[in-house]
Amino acid sequence: MRKYSLELLIGFFPVLLLFLIYMGVNVLPFVFLAVIAAAVLYTAQGRGKLTALTGGKSRNEVKAAPFSFDQIGGQERAKEELVEALDFLVKRDKIEKLGIRPLKGILLAGPPGTGKTLLAKAAAHYTDSIYLAASGSEFVEMYVGVGAGRVRDLFKEARTKAKKAGKSSAVIFIDEIEVIGGKRDGGQHREYDQTLNQLLTEMDGIHANESPRILLIAATNRKEMLDGALLRPGRFDRHIGVELPDKKGRQHILSIHAANKPLEDSVSLERLAEQTYSFSGAQLESVMNEAAIYAMREACELIAERHFLMAIDKVMLGEKTDRETSEEERRRVALHELGHAIMAELVRPGSVSQVALSPRGGALGYVRHQPQQDQYLYTKPFLNGQIRITLAGAAAEEMFYGDRSTGSRGDFDQAVNIVKTLVESGLTSLGIIHASMMTPESWAAITKEVLDEQMLAAKALLEERRDIFAAALETLLKEESLDGETFRRLMRSGEAA
């Protein structure tokens, strides 16, 4: 309509001029005025275009290539649950017939990098919706009311964009929802409260028969932090767990990211899936990428298994560093790592796959273990064995130097975490107990009790095997890295000595 009125105006103006000339009127001042008016109009329109490109075009709207559920590896259960929930949007007449209340919010909860954003994108594709994404931290402002305003704008924008694109629904994805949806504690964070209130108000304003329909999908790594008001029925009442992938899931994710990469025939994705126990989807993507980079560095046309092994080490432990270490330091690190490796073989024979002295990430050396079976239940002996493996580095240093070094800090963190699991699972001398009943002093006491006991056991076991240290130390210092088989051979020769 606006376009036509402009054309009419452009057509009408010359006719008017001709008429005035015919009447003998001096038209020069009119022409002059018209030129100025046109110039002003043109500039204003230009500025309008600029706004549309910067301020006007939403930074939230993501116009990526359509993303489908097939492009997400593993997560079969999460996908199924999500699709079932989305069918509420897709099969509207059915749910109306049954009088089911519309679904307003879906909460995806799980560790970082497991594909929550991907699931939200696929949800938008599946429901043929507009997709808008924002992160909780974008709503955090110093000034009261600004965050709330942004929430309002986001919903408004979703409705306008969907209408403009002729879609009947819009998916709004809010990552890190805990930043705005954290538990309210009565007046201290007024800004956060207002933002959350606005979000709740907007959610309450979503109706079954409104068009376009809005579906809110939020993601969090910390579901326990969310305010109850956000989780109650009628708000985010569908909770879908997006967990770390199991072996089959890892293989699937690896195959998705391998699709555009030339791999050597001998590369087995199944074996890589075994080697990447407890990796997230994002870490697996990184393994694929890093392996390709290693292949490029070596000027190889195909990516080989060794590139993957290097990539796994890099993702797990960080890039190799050029840190210069003194001879004395290297010897200490070697004894420390041998301690871990010997204990790992005692606890789980055949489990060491590499002992290395090369500095990587924050560590000066490391022991790589054979992939474990995916396991979800752990017994007390298993966890005690894990503690002995983590403490064995420090135990070895004490055996040979009479003291410990800062190199064991990370090991102790791990050991303390295992003690926490033992306590919370009722597997310590405290019996069955809830963590809320523990004071810092009781935590300290039980941690000391468990760690002292396992440290004593570790030292006793290693002390009996001093000869193995002697047999393996010089080779490790010379070679810098021993594979599992070589290490076990040295261990056997040390035991025989």
Over the window 206 to 235, marking each residue x when it contacts ligand ATP by CB under 6 A and - when it does not, the resulting string is -------------x-x--------------
Residue tagged active-site, from 138, 178, 337, 345: 337
Q: CA distances (Å), 230 to each of 202, 216, 367, in order?
A: 12, 12, 45
Residue 172, SS3? strand
Q: Which residues ranging from 273 to 312 are in contact with ligand ATP (CB under 6 A)?
A: 281-282, 285
| Type of residue numbered 426 | G
User: Judged by CB under 6 A, how many residues of this single chain contact ligand ATP?
Assistant: 19
CB of 113 to ligand ATP, least distance (A): 5
Please choose, out of 28-36, 94-102, 109-117, 182-190, the segment that lies near ligand ATP by the rule CB under 6 A.
109-117
386 binds ligand ATP (CB under 6 A): no
Burial of 356 (0-12, 13-18, 19+ CB in 10 A): buried
CB of 356 to ligand ATP, least distance (A): 27
DSSP-derived pairing of the beta strands 352-356 and 366-369: antiparallel
Q: Which two tokens stand for residue 460?
A: 């006793």
Q: Which two tokens stand for residue 126?
A: 């599946």
Between CA 254 and CA 22 the distance in angstroms is 80
Which residue of 75, 195, 351, 408 would you call a contact of ligand ATP, by CB under 6 A? 75
Structural contact between residues 230 and 269, judged by C-beta atoms closer than 8 angstroms:
no
Nearer to ligand ATP, 114 or 169 (CB): 114
Angle at 36 between CA 40 and CA 29, to 5 degrees: 160
CB of 283 to ligand ATP, least distance (A): 8
118 binds ligand ATP (CB under 6 A): yes
Q: Which of 110, 114, 126, 129 is nearest to 62 (CA)?
A: 129
Which residue of 67, 82, 88, 115 would you call a contact of ligand ATP, by CB under 6 A? 115
Which residue of 73, 105, 182, 494 would you call a contact of ligand ATP, by CB under 6 A? 73
Nearer to ligand ATP, 72 or 226 (CB): 72
Please choose, out of 66-74, 160-168, 182-190, 371-379, the segment that lies near ligand ATP by the rule CB under 6 A.
66-74
Nearer to ligand ATP, 114 or 408 (CB): 114
Nearer to ligand ATP, 218 or 415 (CB): 218
Could you confirm whether 337 is annotated as catalytic? yes
Measure the CA dihedral 136/140/146/151, to 10°: 10
* Rg over CA atoms, the chain: 32
Conformation bin of residue 180: beta by default, left when phi > 0, alpha when psi is -120 to 50? alpha
Between CA 207 and CA 214 the distance in angstroms is 9
CB of 107 to ligand ATP, least distance (A): 13
Which residue of 69, 107, 109, 113 would you call a contact of ligand ATP, by CB under 6 A? 113
Which residue of 154, 172, 253, 451 would you call a contact of ligand ATP, by CB under 6 A? 253
Nearer to ligand ATP, 315 or 342 (CB): 315
Which residue has tokens 């500039």? Answer: 43
Q: Which two tokens stand for residue 233?
A: 């029925």
Which residue has tokens 């474990």? Answer: 372
Q: Per DSSP, which regions of 198-279 are E strands?
A: 213-220, 236-241
Which residue of 48, 56, 112, 349 would you call a contact of ligand ATP, by CB under 6 A? 112
Catalytic residues: 337
Residues in contact with ligand ATP by CB under 6 A are 72-75, 112-118, 175, 219, 221, 253, 256, 281-282, 285
